[in-house]
Amino acid sequence: MRPPVEVCVFLLSLLAPGVLYAMNNIPALQEPLPILGMGMVVLGSVLLLLLLAVRHKEKVDPLFYVFAEFSFTCMVGLINAFEQDGFISGFMGFYVKMGEPHLSTAYAVMMSYWEGVIHFVLFLTMIQCMFKGKSYRSLGLLWAGSSIAHQIVLIPGVVIGKYGSNIRPAFWRNMPFFLVPFWAASVLFSRPREMPVVTADKVAVEQKKSLLSRPLDLLLSLLLLGAIVFSIFRGFVVLDCPLDICFTYIYQYEPYLKDPVGFPRVTMLVYFFYALPLLAVFIYGLKTPGCSWMLDWTIFCAGALAQTQWCHIGASLHSRTPFTYRVPTDKWWPVITLNVLLAAVPSLLALRCHTNPAYFMKPVPKGQTNNGKKKN
């Protein structure tokens, strides 16, 4: 009797500590080019083992290989987080020194925790759903948003930050991890959405309600508007706006925004140019009935904002961030509250859209019941 595929992936991921420990104790593998080469060999070997693990399956979803391969790297990330925080040693020293020095930063440590816990659990859950014939599309979009946000902050942050002058060959192994989530997201978006069927009468009743008669949606719209204003303000702050309020904020409230590592600056610019328009479109979606795209994009955005805010908040408080750049103790509550709200609002919106999707659906023929399923 073969073990479930998700168990095989989990066990395969547990090989990561042994591989890292061996490489950390073999001097010949601790130079920049051998590190990159061995990294590619290890990932190729993992792919080969995955092919062997599912060779008896008639048809395998191509996203399985993405999720399973990334699961291995999640374990590597978790080991890095544990080592940088002093819980273990002897695994990542060679790689941080000669491969990717930026992995020792507070931002990278928080990113590694997110990958090693949240992404790892998502991967195993999606693989389980995949081989049991269940839909994992929503979980996949949550991961895609998180992963894409992670990469579009990490790679530019390294290049423009203080580690930009010390980029080693191993850094370029991030490029597949940058491109693959975009491909995976396009695959997931193109697949049909599975959701409960709602009667035409109920859809019509919900869509006749104005925003003022839907207090929850009105509150979410106001919170989204607040998130937009906060994102614009911090975008101006990192762009060195000369206004006194910007100067006061960056020096007295959130000095982490001027940390030379580059990640906080890139995060705020990503919010300014990408998240902000999406949040504005969500306000339109809450006001206009029949915007079925809200059911997908709110999940994607929730994953993206949750990941970036986890890293941003954690890094601004972490001991690896120089004391002068950490959030001042007396300003801790207002700064952290605003940042947590920014992470929570897209998640609350996604939850609202999926618990009561009638307002966002196109009308369906009468006679269908709420017990059925439909593809939309």
Tokens representing 122 are: 């998502």
Residue 57 phi, psi (nearest 5) = -85, 135
Residue 195 phi, psi (nearest 5) = -155, 160
User: Are the CB atoms for 116 and 324 separated by under 8 Å?
Assistant: no
Tens-place pLDDT, residues 2-29: 788 999 999 999 999 999 999 999 988 8
Tokens representing 373 are: 């399923």
Confidence of residue 201 (pLDDT cuts 50, 70, 90): confident
- Say whether pLDDT at 202 is over 70: yes
- Say whether pLDDT at 374 is over 50: no
Q: Which among 327, 3, 355 is positioned nearest to 196, based on CA atoms?
A: 355
Per-residue pLDDT, 197 = 78
Q: Look over the chain and give the mean of its residue pLDDT values, rounded to a whole number.
A: 92
Residue 287 phi, psi (nearest 5) = -95, -25
Confidence of residue 364 (pLDDT cuts 50, 70, 90): low
Compute the average pLDDT of residues 315-333: 94
Per-residue pLDDT, 367 = 52
d(CA 64, CA 188): 13
Compute the average pLDDT of residues 346-368: 83
Q: Which residue has the higher pLDDT, 76 or 173?
A: 76
d(CA 164, CA 178): 18
Tokens representing 156 are: 């530019």
Which of 68-82, 122-136, 177-191, 356-370 has the weakest average pLDDT?
356-370
Radius of gyration of the CA atoms of the chain, in A: 22
- Degrees, nearest 5: CA angle 64-68-72: 170
Percentage of the chain surpassing pLDDT 70? 96
Per-residue pLDDT, 30 = 84
d(CA 373, CA 88): 49
* DSSP of 209-250: S-GGG-HHHHHHHHHHHHHHHHHHHHHHHHTT---HHHHHII
d(CA 311, CA 264): 9
Confidence of residue 370 (pLDDT cuts 50, 70, 90): very low
Per-residue pLDDT, 216 = 95
Confidence of residue 365 (pLDDT cuts 50, 70, 90): low
User: Are the CB atoms for 174 and 152 separated by under 8 Å?
Assistant: no
- Say whether pLDDT at 256 is over 80: yes
Per-residue pLDDT, 139 = 96
Compute the average pLDDT of residues 107-131: 96
- Say whether pLDDT at 255 is over 80: yes
The 8-class DSSP code of residue 192 comes to P
- Say whether pLDDT at 210 is over 60: yes
d(CA 294, CA 280): 12
Percentage of the chain surpassing pLDDT 90? 82
Compute the average pLDDT of residues 227-233: 97
User: Are the CB atoms for 110 and 314 separated by under 8 Å?
Assistant: yes
Tokens representing 365 are: 């023929």
- Say whether pLDDT at 31 is over 80: yes
Give 34-43's long-range contacts (Cβ < 8 A, gap of 24+).
35/94, 35/95, 35/98, 35/99, 35/168, 35/169, 35/170, 36/99, 36/168, 36/169, 36/170, 36/172, 36/173, 39/99, 39/170, 39/173, 40/173, 43/69, 43/72, 43/73
Which amino acid makes up residue 289? P
At which residue do the structure tokens 């950490």 appear? 326
At which residue do the structure tokens 């990408």 appear? 274
Per-residue pLDDT, 366 = 52
Compute the average pLDDT of residues 303-315: 97
The 8-class DSSP code of residue 271 comes to I
Tokens representing 217 are: 């949606």
> What sign for the dihedral angle of Cα 36, 39, 41, 43?
negative
- Say whether pLDDT at 368 is over 60: no
Q: Which residue has the higher pLDDT, 364 or 56?
A: 56
> How far from 40 is each of 34, 47, 93, 374, CA to CA, in Å?
10, 11, 19, 43
d(CA 271, CA 304): 10
Q: Which among 285, 289, 301 is positioned nearest to 345, based on CA atoms?
A: 301
> How far from 269 is each of 204, 234, 248, CA to CA, in Å?
40, 9, 19
d(CA 145, CA 297): 9
Tokens representing 165 are: 């002058």
d(CA 121, CA 91): 23
User: Are the CB atoms for 182 and 148 separated by under 8 Å?
Assistant: yes
The 8-class DSSP code of residue 262 comes to S
Compute the average pLDDT of residues 321-325: 95
Confidence of residue 264 (pLDDT cuts 50, 70, 90): very high
